[in-house]
Amino acid sequence: MASGSEEGFGFGSGSGDVDVDPSIAMTTDVELLKRAWRNEKAAPEILQFESNLVQRSKEQIQLMEETVEEYDGNGTDPLTVSLYQMDLDRTQFLLRSYLRIRLQKIEKYPTHISKTDTWSRLSEQEQKFAKRCMDDMEKHLTQSVLSRLPYGYQSILKQSISSEEDDMVPEPQLDTFVFCKSKVSLGAYQLDESGEDIVDFVANDLYVLRYKPVKPLIENGQIDIV
């Protein structure tokens, strides 16, 4: 049976999708789910889908539901059942919110995602959703606006036929500032190509930095967005 506590949540440690720092290798699944949820919520772009973590979380939720149902039916102390239910509700909220945030980003940037390597970060179901979003948007804009415009201005991607780039495609602003916390001491870290902008990462310290330069550190688990 599940323990009903955060320490007992999950079937293993680590996300299983990317290499993570050894300092978080033994982190429980509920903590990893919280981390994935916080990072996804704060990041301007969609991040790598945590497929193994999501699958383990779904399995754990099912086990916790069975535990609550069994305890509720065999006369277990109501307070104990309530604690299990609270733990279940919290886990369900984190997972649903994590998935919902990702869908909102896909709805906002479907074309950009489909035209860049960001596409590989999506799950199979998310890719299908993104395709539906693009098809629906193109159909709607063509019928309501683009078909009424002069030739050369009917593209959903470009302002006019003379545009060299897809200047009508909204993109996430990767230079936005984010609050982040270093999980380990990294020493001096270069934030720009010139080497003039350097930050000294100290474990558990908070920083306000542009997202793009620290993106690799977020992806490998060395810092978290808060």
Question: What per-residue confidence (pLDDT) applies to 27?
Answer: 65
> CA-based angle 210:218:110, to the nearest 5?
80
Cα Rg of the chain (Å, integer): 22
Domain count, the chain: 3
Q: Return the CATH number at 222.
A: 3.40.5.60
The verdict on residue 166 lying in a domain is yes
Tell me whether residue 2 is in a domain: no
Instruction: Choose one of 127, 144, 172: the last residue of a domain.
Output: 172
Is residue 102 located within the same domain as residue 33?
A: yes
pLDDT of residue 170: 86
Same domain, 127 and 202: no
Our CA angle for 113, 117, 120, nearest 5°, is 85
Task: Note whether 27 and 90 are same-domain residues.
Answer: yes
Q: What confidence score (pLDDT) does residue 130 get?
A: 96
At residue 16, the pLDDT reads 41
For residue 159, what pLDDT is reported? 66
What string of pLDDT tens digits covers the 226 residues of the chain?
Answer: 334 433 333 434 443 444 444 444 446 889 999 999 999 999 999 999 999 999 999 999 999 999 999 988 888 888 988 999 999 999 999 999 999 999 999 999 999 999 999 999 999 999 999 999 988 887 877 777 766 777 766 566 666 676 667 767 889 999 999 999 999 999 999 998 777 889 999 999 999 999 999 999 998 889 999 8
Give a yes or no: residue 183 inside a domain: yes
Domain span at residue 165? 109-172
